[in-house]
Amino acid sequence: MTKTYNKREKYYPSLSDHKRQGKNLIPPFLLLPNLALKSWTNFRLPEMLWAVLIISHAERDIALYHFRNVVNYLAGLPEGDQPQDLTLTALSKIQPEILDGLIVELCDDDDVNLSLSPLTLFPNLPGQKSWIKNLDEMASLEKWDLLKEAIVKCYDHQSQEATDCRWIRPLYQTVRGKMHFPQHLIHLSEELLRYPHHGDMRAVRPTIRSMEGAIDDLQNIGANPNNWTEHFWQTCLLNTPCEKVELLMEQKETCTSINIDKIDSLILQLNEHCNKNRLDSAINPKFDTTFGISLYSLQIFREIVKNQMQNTILGRTALRSIVECFITLRYLRKNDNPDLWLAYRNYGSGQVKLALLKFDEIGECPNFVDQGKLKLNINYDRGEEFLSINLGNWEKTSLRDMSEKSGTKKEYDLYYTITSGFVHGMWEAVNEATFEYCGNPLHRFHRIPINSSPQLNDIIPDAINLINKILGDVDRLYPQFPYRVETK
């Protein structure tokens, strides 16, 4: 079963927008020449912390008023006295009396003075002496709370508050005559100077962010950490606790009415159908494979339900097995070629033969392996000395290609990639199952280990969807099997 899917609101390149290069699908942004990825959160936000604190705690009009005053004050200085930028690091390099004068002017507003007080929490703050002597002292705990609130508001580089902080960097360079616009883009300077009351903000805000990023290229802040940015985040981590956050999880469909008795009854019905359709005792790859795959899938489903694995890591690995069984059976049914049915069977026997020969070479075997039973199985069709070992895929293709040829590409895309991550221990599966978000923005919402078993979304509705399709294939190959997994 699948729920109605709501496409993500933000713009993300679609799959068709990606360009294939070898085995990689490259998003269009990474195809831009000379692209340098930068991080507002990790590096530039700490550098603009003074502005972040003001915009987060003062009324917006008042904060923007102070921003303009800072720009005009610094741009009005003789060029040799002007800072190269408005970052904390750049401001710390100007004459101390100039920085003192700027801070005094800002702190003349009691609310701004209070807003800036968290700056005193950081021993390695650039220009620390000037900030400390001009800021009122307050309780440390209150300063951490003020800082936390500010980081939340400006954490997203596209938020209104973050955009306001980013705006003053290109504004400053424009006012001081360091940023120039060609005639056909002269409207951009007007939008900067009269922000946020001039132009279409839906276009102005992205333009501001692009300008700020371009300025950052020259300052080389966003691409590399410096002592201050590292100190900022490390001090936050060491001085504040992790916080658990309750994420608003999507409401997924669950099937509470499924029980072992229903599944056992279905397995019994499938066994009876198998016995009823057995015509002789000869080897029959099509017959054995059809009922073998369907019964195997049902047994996996039974284990999921019996052991309440629907919200677990193993539940997802089990779902992956079921989807592969479904695609394989549908592919075999669609082609219905005796050579294919036999190839599937021989491939499995060959893999077991390969494993047993490896055990012989090593001189030991895993505890779970029943050597006698496996040897009996691989010698059932023919002596193993006449059994070839296929080191590729049994159909000389991939499961993805099989899904395309069998009309099951939709199920492959829905289930296979995500569940395979859990089988192979890929990062996103490991991440989802073992970590949760720290709710403290001062920790950059980092991941913390889960103390108990993960409660992942229920896989039973999806398993039922696949199991019933497998049973439908049984009915097509050996008719008059109407039974399905029922949820009511």
* Amino acid 404: pLDDT: 97
Residues 228 and 371 in one domain: no
Q: Using CA atoms in the order 111, 112, 117, 119, what is the torsion angle rounded to 10 degrees? A: 160
Asked if residue 16 belongs to a domain, the reply is no
* Amino acid 14: pLDDT: 79
Ramachandran class of 356: left when φ > 0, alpha when ψ lies in -120 to 50, beta otherwise: alpha
Q: Measured between alpha carbons, how far is 463 from 258 in angstroms, rounded to an integer?
A: 12
Q: Is 449 in contact with 434 (CB distance < 8 Å)?
A: yes
Asked if residue 217 belongs to a domain, the reply is yes
For residue 292, count other CB atoms closer than 10 A to its CB.
16
Each residue's pLDDT, cut to its tens digit, for the chain (488 residues) gives 555 555 545 556 777 887 888 878 777 766 766 666 678 999 999 999 999 999 999 999 999 999 999 999 999 999 999 999 999 999 999 999 999 999 999 998 999 999 999 999 999 999 999 999 888 777 788 999 999 999 999 999 999 999 999 999 999 999 999 988 888 888 999 999 999 999 999 999 999 998 998 887 776 554 455 789 999 999 999 999 999 876 545 555 555 568 899 999 999 999 999 999 999 999 999 999 999 999 999 999 999 999 999 999 999 999 999 999 999 999 999 999 999 999 999 999 999 999 999 999 999 999 999 989 998 988 888 888 888 888 888 888 899 999 999 999 999 999 999 999 999 999 999 999 999 999 999 999 999 999 888 889 999 999 999 999 999 999 999 999 999 998 76
Asked if residue 185 belongs to a domain, the reply is yes
Structural domain range at position 79 = 40-239
How many domains, the chain? Answer: 2
* Amino acid 34: pLDDT: 64
Residues 196 and 287 in one domain: no
Asked if residue 26 belongs to a domain, the reply is no
Residues 307 and 356 in one domain: yes
Residues 232 and 303 in one domain: no
Nearest to 192 by CA among 179, 208, 215: 208
Residues 384 and 270 in one domain: yes
Residues 303 and 160 in one domain: no
Nearest to 439 by CA among 234, 145, 243: 243
Asked if residue 252 belongs to a domain, the reply is no
Final residue before a domain boundary, out of 239, 271, 297: 239
* Amino acid 365: pLDDT: 92
Residues 56 and 196 in one domain: yes
Sequence-distant (≥ 6) Cβ neighbours of residue 172 within 8 angstroms: 71, 74, 75, 85, 86
Asked if residue 96 belongs to a domain, the reply is yes
Residues 273 and 137 in one domain: no
Final residue before a domain boundary, out of 239, 271, 301: 239
Asked if residue 22 belongs to a domain, the reply is no
